[in-house]
Amino acid sequence: MRIHEYLEAVRNCPDDLLRGEYGIHDNLVLLLNQEYDMLTAAFAASTGNEHLFRERYHEITPGSIPIIEESAPELASKLQNMIVERRNGRRDFACEQGTVLVKVVPGVRFYSGRRAGKHAQRQFREFKTTISLHPYLRPRWEGRCSHRALAEVLEDICQYAARTGTAVCVPEPFEWRKNGNKRYEHLIVYSEKSAE
């Protein structure tokens, strides 16, 4: 499945079906074929006048940790510790609209590739940077449920990739349903820049 088809389907999907139909969930992973330093610089520049993202993202540093969802106190503590530690060269960004934490790391990480099957080798070979999305920040994105907020940031990153000519992939397969009919295909989404 191509990324433009996937994003159009996500846009038209009811919020309550985003997870089941299109795999929009906590720990949503994207791979980009762009150097880590270039991508993190673009996120950092998104608060300025010249930026390539639709949304604005603020870097989270140990001195500027945002409020994390109270409904899961053990998770909030774990996330705050991870932000302070900044392992694997990771940089964290908060979407200005709220809700979404964006983690960016060099290389292909955050998923094992086991479920990706034959695609895993290609993904490890062709992509340079990993992003994972998490819906735990306060304030909440006004008028958006957590899954829709994740979908908005996913689309923003994919549009950034298209504008910069960067290949992007949603690497983990999910079960896809078309026209309400269950089609238990495990789909992996690639951009047009990524030859199949």
In a domain, 140, yes or no: yes
State pTM to two decimals: 0.82
Domain count, the chain: 1
pLDDT, residue 86, reads 64
Q: How confident is the model at residue 42 (pLDDT cuts 50, 70, 90)?
A: very high
pLDDT at 84 over 70: no
Mean per-residue pLDDT for 141-146?
A: 91
Question: Which one is predicted more confidently, 19 or 177?
Answer: 19
pLDDT, residue 90, reads 86
pLDDT, residue 40, reads 93
Helix, strand, or coil (residue 123) = helix
pLDDT, residue 79, reads 64
In a domain, 195, yes or no: no
For residues 55 and 98, give the distance between their C-alpha atoms in angstroms, rounded to a whole number: 10
Question: Which one is predicted more confidently, 169 or 80?
Answer: 169
For residues 2 and 169, give the distance between their C-alpha atoms in angstroms, rounded to a whole number: 9
Mark 90-100 as b/e (b = at least 16 C-beta within 10 Å): bbbbbbebbbb
Question: Which one is predicted more confidently, 102 or 191?
Answer: 102
Range of the domain at 39: 3-190
pLDDT, residue 179, reads 53
In a domain, 21, yes or no: yes
pLDDT, residue 196, reads 43
In a domain, 196, yes or no: no
pLDDT in tens, 102-135: 999 999 875 555 555 667 777 788 889 999 999 8
In a domain, 77, yes or no: yes
Using a pLDDT cut of 70, give the percent of the chain over it.
67
Q: How many CB atoms lie within 10 A of CB 170?
A: 24
In a domain, 142, yes or no: yes
Whole-angstrom Cα Rg for the chain: 16
